[in-house]
Structure 1
Amino acid sequence: MRKLCPNFDREDGLDTVLEVPIPEEMFASGGNTRGHKSLGTTMKAWMRSRHSHVDRSAPSPLGRGAELQLMLGVIGAPLVPLHVQTHKFSFSHHLKEDPMEASMAKYIIKQYIAASGGEQALNSVSSMYAMGKVRMTATEFRTGNGDNTGHANKKASKGGGGGEMGGFVLWQKKPDLWCLELVVAGCKISAGSDGKVAWRQTPWHQSHASRGPPRPLRRTLQGLDPRSTANLFSNAVCIGEKAINGEDCFILRLDAEAAALQARSSNNVEIIRHTVWGYFSHRTGLLVQLEDSHLLGIKSRSEESVYWETTMKSLMEDHRPVDGIYIAHAGRTTVSLFRFGDTNDGCTRTRMEETWTIEEVDFNIWGLSMDCFLSPGDLKEEEEGCDTMVQNKRPPIRSQAPFKIGPSKVAALDPYDLD
């Protein structure tokens, strides 16, 4: 990962320190791809835009299409469905007092805590820093017929050049305080939580808050924060076993309660369900795969509802100890985005994929104060932000993708944090 960038304003000036490190592959010499040729122009435009006011209603100066906006909107900074309330594990009562499925789940979580480094090591962590690189690709797009027969009449493969590369930096201080900065193809997305509200900021929208209580970032549960993972699944139930990538695993299921779904809903958007599954290895006790399915309904101006179902599967690999705590240093996420209920366009399905590797991880960061997690000054109120995003019918950037996203509610309204 490269942390310095050439000074584009003065050739004899000092190199610029990048806020988010960029993968070394993006700077490889001798590249013949369009990405390598335009890297200097992209980096120059992006760096200069940091020092000037960005008009989000105008076309993107970087020329990014709706495909990149869709990928960043869905898999850039999604949140888990529930607020993790405790900072330490609490299994004080006897397991036999719970139903069998819940008792088995608590026993599996105890094994997971031990396999991840032990309760004492996990509870000794007060803050965390992680830096890594990602590659995002939109792999497939299908459109059904108007009669919803499910036959595809359009199919396109994206990312033939290997997808869009980027890097991210994540800071966390207990589950409620976190900050993420992600740069993909020169386009930056920021997200964070100050303990009271979670927010997100993109180049095409003003900073806006999520509805409901702050929730942890899904990326931290992809093998970076075993303590939050254990707290999240402490109220889950064991529903069976399944082999994942050749590894026999227990399956733990957690459903968001009706009250939590209601708190995240609004007049225009109804969260119907949100379910999370964790696959824990028989052999190692570690989390091998994290899966969640999310269904929401959006009312259009004609009072007809359009439904979006998003399924995300994250496979964690390369678990290595860092200060005695096992962290997943690589993984892959596949996303299936399915829209139905629109009588005009029928049903559509989009598939996306993200691969990532962790370059640096450290715990108990000195000097990480509350000032590092302050929300942006232009943050919108929850109801105002949600209503504004739902009413936005088209992406504010020019679409270079060969397919139609439809009403850009997924790009403008993240189905995971209800922007």
Structure 2
Amino acid sequence: MRKLCPNLDKEDALETILEVPIPEEMFNSMGNNVALRCQNMQQWMKAQTSDKWSSPVILGRINELRFILYHIGAPLIPLQVHIDKISRPVRDNSIQTSTAKYIVQQYIAATGGQTAISSIQSMCVIGHARIGATVFHLGDQTVKGKNTDEAGGFVLWQKNPDLWCLEFVVSGCKVFSGSNGKVSWRQSSNQPSVTTGSPRPLRRFLQGLDPRATANLFIDAVCIGEKVINHEDCFILKLETSQTTLDAQSDPKYEIIHHTLWGYFSQRSGLLLQFEDSRMLRLKNSVDNDDGDGVFWETSAESFIEDYRYVDGINIAHSGKTSVRVFRYGEQSANHQREIEETWKIDEVGFNIWGLDTDFFTPPKEEVETLEY
């Protein structure tokens, strides 16, 4: 990952620290030597103005990247995870519920134990990813578009209980999102307006990065069976979002019909090997006269989690692959389906960051839209 850029004005001056580290391959593609690459990168950063997005070609490509980043780079899960005592009583519950609590306890032990996990007060993660749309279906036809496979980097900050901030940069497009505990928000480089919603955690935390949040989330799940994942027998834990939560996250313009989460925990190691979530949203035809029809968006994500390694006594996943399918259908809508993939790798993880103040998680001042995704 490229973190520094030489000072082009003064050779003996300190190097410039990049706001978001970028993969070396992305940096190398900007020129045939370091000086030219840094110069082109500075020009690229200065070009992030509203005039740049006026070109239909550039606008279309950036909107494509923004769509991909929203769905695979910075998606939220429907439930607010409360950091409290992970252990819950096992007795006086159904077999499925009691089994799920026992599986979560095994997961806690596999990721370092409750004492080590509870000692985490903050986190910083630096990683890189390669993302792109793999298939686009329009009706019954498969449309092969231009290859959108792109490399990028991200920085993720977290401070308990539910303060987090993510910066994700991919080929000229940046998504900046976070939560200050009261509201979650998101903003992209070509969209100065800010979308906001209720405070919710980032899906990326549940891809092997935050054991405590994962344990607190699935402690109220039920065990629905077993499945083999990558040649390992796994327990399946399922968590349904309550109707009260769905209604609270809905809006006069849209309705969230369902949102379900699944976790696949290895019977051998106790670790989380796969995470899935599926959601259906209906855009209403009219706020005043809703006839039950409209356009439906169905989104399903599947993350395979690998390469667990200990960092300061905490067992953290360092790589994985996520596949997302977005399906749109309904009246007055051309049915289409998008399939997106991301392969990601964690380069650095640090816990209990000194000086990380709550002001760091303050959202941008402009709040004009409601967060739908």
Query: Given the two structures, how large is their TM-score scaled by the length of structure 2?
Result: 0.90
User: 1:167 offset after TM fit, Å?
Assistant: 0.4
User: 1:188 offset after TM fit, Å?
Assistant: 1.2
Determine helix, strand or coil for the equivalent of 1:240.
strand
1:174 aligns with 2:128: no
Match of 1:206 in 2: 192
Q: Which has the higher strand share?
A: 2
CA distance in 1, matches of 2:40, 2:136: 27
Q: 1:87 to 1:43 in 2, by over 3 A?
A: farther
CA distance in 1, matches of 2:295, 2:29: 47
CA distance in 2, matches of 1:311, 1:332: 14
Aligned letter for 2:316? I
Q: 1:233 to 1:377 in 2, by over 3 A?
A: same
**Residues 155-175 of structure 1: CA distance to partner in whole angstroms, max 9, x if unpaired?**
216537xx1101000110114
Greater CA drift, 238-247 or 116-125? 238-247
Match of 1:349 in 2: 337
Aligned letter for 1:264? Q
User: 1:374 offset after TM fit, Å?
Assistant: 1.3
Determine helix, strand or coil for the equivalent of 2:91.
helix
Aligned match for 2:283, one of 267, 279, 298: 298
* Alpha carbons 1:207, 1:376 under 8 Å: kept: no
Aligned letter for 2:141? N
User: 1:58 offset after TM fit, Å?
Assistant: 4.0
**Residues 75-105 of structure 1: CA distance to partner in whole angstroms, max 9, x if unpaired?**
12111110112333141x3x13001110000
RMSD of equivalent CA atoms: 2.7
Greater CA drift, 298-307 or 56-65? 56-65
> What is the percent sequence identity of the aligned residues?
51
Match of 2:182 in 1: 196
CA distance in 2, matches of 1:56, 1:47: 11
1:131 aligns with 2:126: yes
Aligned letter for 2:75? P
* Alpha carbons 2:108, 2:211 under 8 Å: kept: yes
Greater CA drift, 70-79 or 328-337? 70-79
CA distance in 1, matches of 2:4, 2:279: 39
1:309 aligns with 2:308: no
Match of 1:22 in 2: 22
User: 1:56 offset after TM fit, Å?
Assistant: 9.1
Greater CA drift, 64-73 or 367-376? 64-73
User: 1:383-394 counterparts in 2 under 5 A?
Assistant: 384-386=368-370
1:69 aligns with 2:54: no
CA distance in 2, matches of 1:134, 1:49: 23
Match of 2:95 in 1: 100
User: 1:30 offset after TM fit, Å?
Assistant: 10
* Alpha carbons 2:97, 2:223 under 8 Å: kept: yes
Aligned letter for 1:20? V
Match of 1:84 in 2: 81
Aligned letter for 1:266? D
Match of 1:410 in 2: none
Aligned letter for 1:226? P
Match of 1:143 in 2: 138
**Residues 289-310 of structure 1: CA distance to partner in whole angstroms, max 9, x if unpaired?**
0000010001246965000100
Match of 1:412 in 2: none
CA distance in 1, matches of 2:103, 2:343: 27
Determine helix, strand or coil for the equivalent of 1:96.
coil
- Name which structure has the greater RCO, CA cutoff 8 Å, separation 6+: 1
CA distance in 2, matches of 1:285, 1:274: 25
**Residues 141-182 of structure 1: CA distance to partner in whole angstroms, max 9, x if unpaired?**
0111xxxxxxx223216537xx11010001101141111111
* Alpha carbons 2:162, 2:181 under 8 Å: kept: yes
User: 1:326-365 counterparts in 2 under 5 A?
Assistant: 326-343=315-332, 345=334, 347-365=335-353
Aligned letter for 1:99? S
**Residues 221-274 of structure 1: CA distance to partner in whole angstroms, max 9, x if unpaired?**
111000000000111000000011222110000011111111111111100000
Greater CA drift, 268-277 or 335-344? 335-344
* Alpha carbons 2:241, 2:260 under 8 Å: kept: yes
CA distance in 2, matches of 1:355, 1:228: 22
Aligned letter for 1:129? C
* Alpha carbons 1:200, 1:208 under 8 Å: kept: yes
1:418 aligns with 2:372: yes
Match of 2:227 in 1: 242
CA distance in 1, matches of 2:18, 2:275: 31
**Residues 11-65 of structure 1: CA distance to partner in whole angstroms, max 9, x if unpaired?**
7565421011011122347999xxx9x9768623442257xx6569745896634
Query: Given the two structures, how large is their TM-score scaled by the length of structure 1?
Result: 0.81
* Alpha carbons 2:66, 2:175 under 8 Å: kept: no
Q: 1:216 to 1:56 in 2, by over 3 A?
A: farther
CA distance in 2, matches of 1:323, 1:279: 25
Q: 1:259 to 1:61 in 2, by over 3 A?
A: same
Aligned letter for 1:173? K
User: 1:66 offset after TM fit, Å?
Assistant: 3.3
CA distance in 1, matches of 2:29, 2:281: 45
Determine helix, strand or coil for the equivalent of 2:326.
strand
* Alpha carbons 1:199, 1:207 under 8 Å: kept: no
* Alpha carbons 1:223, 1:316 under 8 Å: kept: yes
Determine helix, strand or coil for the equivalent of 2:166.
strand
User: 1:280 offset after TM fit, Å?
Assistant: 0.3
CA distance in 2, matches of 1:217, 1:306: 26
Aligned match for 2:201, one of 198, 216, 230: 216
User: 1:197 offset after TM fit, Å?
Assistant: 0.8
Q: 1:11 to 1:155 in 2, by over 3 A?
A: farther
Match of 1:402 in 2: none
Q: 1:344 to 1:311 in 2, by over 3 A?
A: closer
Q: 1:105 to 1:305 in 2, by over 3 A?
A: same
